[in-house]
Structure formats: structure tokens, C-alpha cells
Amino acid sequence: MMQTLVSTEWLAEQLGAPDLMVLDASWHMPATNRSARQEFEARHIPGARFFDIEAISDHDAGFPHMLPSAELFGAAMTDLGVSNGDRIVVYDDSALRTSARAWFMLRHFGASQVAILDGGLGKWVVEGRPVEAGTPGYRDARFDAVAQPAQVIHKDELLRGSGVQVVDARGAKRFSGEENDPRPGIAPGHMPGARNLPYSAMYRDDGTFRSPDELRAAFAHAKVDPTRPFVASCGSGLTANTLIVAAHLLGNDETRLYDGSWSEWGSDPATPKVTGPAD
């Protein structure tokens, strides 16, 4: 079994293995004017395929890049050439560290071996490792997707009271309401009782995950026990996955994703909202 994080050295040695699938899961906020697909076609790790977070989503949900049905996800992976039993390595070249989202999605729908390339494309390129352009050819595959609903929590359950801590991965100013949400029609602030742990605190400057001791310290600073169950939330269900990965690295798989996150909660006039820092 692969480790949750794999190094650039490890991946360079494994490239070309018939059971290895490398996926570029980059996604960028619209305001950046960056096209992840175009950047992938111009430069990617040899043999990689593009995992399109926006396309592989529920477009009828009313909120950004929500988890798709198992049927849609399985068909998308099959078309991409990805099988359940492949050794899958995901990476990104995004400030949002979107490979964590792909890692969650693949595991959620039944992939058995999924790892994140620690440091992503940025570290790979800085080290002078090979890249290529273009799009990959056909690869025969079958992905039988089965969702694991216990990994996800919905707004109605949160409103009833889930009994576990909500940890918000947005930046401090968006969490407090000092900074408006980048999406129109969404109120400022956060869920009552939520703690704030920005996803960026999980990474070093080079994009690699911090050490276990550093991760524990970051959770402790936010007054969150990373060994206990919690709900991860963010702006639209992307960066929250970094907190889920971090907890997994510390041995905790009793976490749940609020997929609608603040895009859903903040747009509903009936949900309670508070502003200011966490208590």
C-alpha cells in the first residue's frame, strides 16, 4: 500500500509502471484568470491525466463543484482511464492545494490506493524533473464507484446539531466576516461554535505538508483536538479537504466533509451566522 504522501523522488522512480496513474487535479479561483486545463496541456508530469474538479461535479446542486453521484464519478474515471485498483497519485499547481479534494473524492468513491504528491508540480519543476505537453491517449479502465455517505455531512444534520466540532479552513478574515466572500449573495461570518484553522497552516512554504508535530501544534493553536471527530468546512468544499488529509496523517479518519460549506450555509437566510473571531 502506498503512503498518503509520496515524494517527488518516489514518483520519479515509479513513472511508467503499468498500474500507476498520475492525475493533475489543479483548480483555480475564477478571479485568477488561470485555466487549469490549458496549463495542464502546456506542462504536466509525464503520463499524467487531468482530473477536472469542476467537470466531475453535480452541476444541478446549485453550489460550486459539489460531489457527483457515484454513477457520474465512475463514468468520468473510466473515461479518464482510471481503475479502482490503480495506484493513484494526485498533484496540483494551485494555491488552494486542490489535490486534497481529488484525494478525498477518489477515496470516497472507492479507490483503494490514493496518494498526494507532496509539494505538487511546483516542487517537481523546481527540482528539474521532466514534464511534457499535450493530452494523453486512451487507456482501458473500469472504475466501479460506490459512495461512502458517512464521510459527508449535510446542512440539515448540522442544523439539528451534529454533536461534533466544525472546523473552518477559510482564512481568518473571511471566517470573521472582516472580508466579504468572493461569491455574490453570500453573507459574511461563520457557523456558530466553529473553530478557524486555515488550510494554509497545514503546509510549508514549498507546498509540502508540515510534520506531524507541526500539524498537531496548528490544530492545538485553533483549539481543535485532531484525534477526535470533526466536520471540515470551507468556502465551497475544496480546501476543507486539506484538514481531512491532515487529520488522516495524524491517524484520525473520523472526520466528515461539509460539502456545501459556506457557499450553501452563507447563502441561506435561515441559517444562523456569527461574525468576529472564534470564541
Active-site positions read: 234
Secondary structure percentages of the chain, helix, strand, coil, to 5:
30, 15, 55
Residue ranges with strand state E in the chain: 5-6, 20-24, 49-50, 87-91, 113-117, 152-153, 165-168, 195-196, 230-233, 255-258
Residue type, position 230, single letter: F
87-91, strands of its sheet edge to edge = 5-6, 113-117, 87-91, 20-24, 49-50
H or E, element range at 10: helix 8-14
Q: Terminal CA-to-CA distance of the chain, rounded, Å?
A: 41
Residue type, position 108, single letter: H
Whole-angstrom CA distances from 63 to 59, 150, 259, 267 are 8, 20, 9, 10
